[in-house]
Amino acid sequence: MTPQHNITPENVTPATDWWRDAVIYQVYPRSFADADGDGMGDLAGIRSRLPYLRDLGVDAVWLSPFYASPQADAGYDVADYRAIDPMFGTLPDAEAVIRDAHALDLRIIVDLVPNHCSDQHAWFRRGLAEGPGSVLRERFHFRKGRGQNGEEPPNDWESLFGGPAWTRVPDGEWYLHLFAPEQPDFNWDHPAVQDEFRSVLRFWLDLGVDGFRVDVAHGLVKAPGLPDMGHGEQLKLLGNQVLPFFDQDGVHDIYRSWRTVLDEYPGERIAVAEAWAPTAERTSLYVRPDELHQAFNFHYLNTAWDAAALREAIDSSLEAMRPVAAPTTWVLSNHDVVRHTTRLGGGLDRARAATLLMLALPGSAYLYQGEELGLPEVTDLPDEVRQDPSFFRDSGQEGLRDGCRVPLPWSGDTAPYGFGAGGSWLPQPDDWAGLTVEAQTGDPDSTLELYRTALALRRRLPGLGAGDAVEWLDAPDGVLAFRRPGGLICTVNTTKTPAPLPAPGRILLASRQLDAAAGDFTLPADTAVWWEE
């Protein structure tokens, strides 16, 4: 079914520049809610929980991939960009999620995976069947191998999941895959690839989605000639590695063409870049006024819990985005990294303080499902239940992403804690009964109620997310203090010891229970406070 600009007042929200200070909640579909009892989350489960997200106070919901896929990489290996994988439901189920979300004043952002597809994609399967010289192979990166008989890969690139980035097919040619062998990279120099993805954009925009999160946005274009690592003038430095397959300048022409498509539609449809660039300045190129709208701020996500480091990350992030008039984004957790309750090293107190700091910064904030419950990383999953494909490779990524993907606890005292009637695809810890939505709802000391209150205040006091700068205030070593528009002040103690400081006003919200402050005040360790002057 190909929808024909199914745009009605009921399925599109009005233009408001909403994305500049939006709070966007990431749903990892297989781990959010299971409606059919097969142990796997699905679209019907998401639909049933939309009122929870409305009541939480977020502005938009980002859905990780639910497309037809063999699931070699949890759906990031897409076989059909216009079809729903049966494990998640049907296309009408997706339409119902979009429709119900809009009725609840929630926007929907869907994942788009343009760097690579599944080896079961129709183009790739046909290219394999037709053999060398097939026009379909030109839409991917097929090459002859090196060595006397072509027995060596065409270059020395390594997959991010470990091992060579090339796989040889029976007829002797090799194809490129920056990730798993089941994920062949598209050749974005080919016009058919560019045309196809503009068509995919329109397909989902016609169904009413409000935007796209662009997976591996920095990876679509490869250096000309596919040179070995460390050779060629076109290469870009990312961290300590020279990567001829990331952050090439040619990606920006692609995103300019996408912006033209997005701007054809009412309601301010947006695109968000997952762009791992070497600097904040390089990241800002993805969000120039004629390109994408936002880019994830991985510099901030990777910053240690240290006042000086955080201040530098905040300032440099804001400064980089200011020349292109794009909002800065802030994120602490997602489906690919250790949950910040564990990663920051200070447990739940530190995680709650980090949340209030993030939500007081100007721009847009991203939440990952379950962080509002204070969920920790699950670090003791047995090898036999793991599903992250990189876990099974010899090298590359750590292969431990399953720990942040364990299904959510909704209710009850034992697993699967209301996730669904049929268990859960990854086992949940036995001690999560106190972390369920049911257990935390109404408890003023719970992390869930902290998030609900913070998001309600952020919506009522727009100065918390406004502007493109913070006004830093004097503070003791290890403490951050800054003013936001409307007479709002945030103070954060990143140290392990209490810090005395003058109370700048009336406490609006604190990351832990505090006595009312007057005059001199002691800010506990790993604590953040919002004040009204």
User: For residue 193, what are the contacts with CB-CB under 8 A and spacing of at least 6?
Assistant: 139, 186, 187
| Residue 130 designated active-site | no
CB 396 within 8 A of CB 163: yes
Computed over its alpha carbons, how large is the radius of gyration of the chain?
A: 23
| Spatial CA neighbour of 388 closest among 338, 430, 333, 432 | 338
User: For residue 217, what are the contacts with CB-CB under 8 A and spacing of at least 6?
Assistant: 114, 251, 255, 273, 274, 275, 286, 292, 295
Residue tagged 């029976």 (tokens): 170
Give long-range contacts, CB 8 A cutoff, 24+ apart: 139-142.
Answer: 139/186, 139/187, 139/190, 139/192, 139/193, 140/175, 140/176, 140/184, 140/185, 140/186, 140/187, 141/175, 141/176, 141/184, 141/185, 141/187, 141/222, 141/226, 142/173, 142/174, 142/175
Would you list the DSSP string of 14-69? PPS-GGGS-EEEEE-GGGT--SSSSSS--HHHHHHHHHHHHHHT-SEEEEPP-EE-
Provide φ and ψ at 251, rounded to 5°. -65, -25
| Residue 312 designated active-site | no
User: For residue 373, what are the contacts with CB-CB under 8 A and spacing of at least 6?
Assistant: 408, 409, 435, 436, 437, 440, 447, 448
Catalytic entry in 73, 111, 215, 268: 215
| Spatial CA neighbour of 345 closest among 489, 160, 495, 215 | 495
Catalytic entry in 130, 263, 264, 290: 264
Instruction: State the DSSP code for 389.
Output: G
Name the residues annotated as catalytic.
215, 264
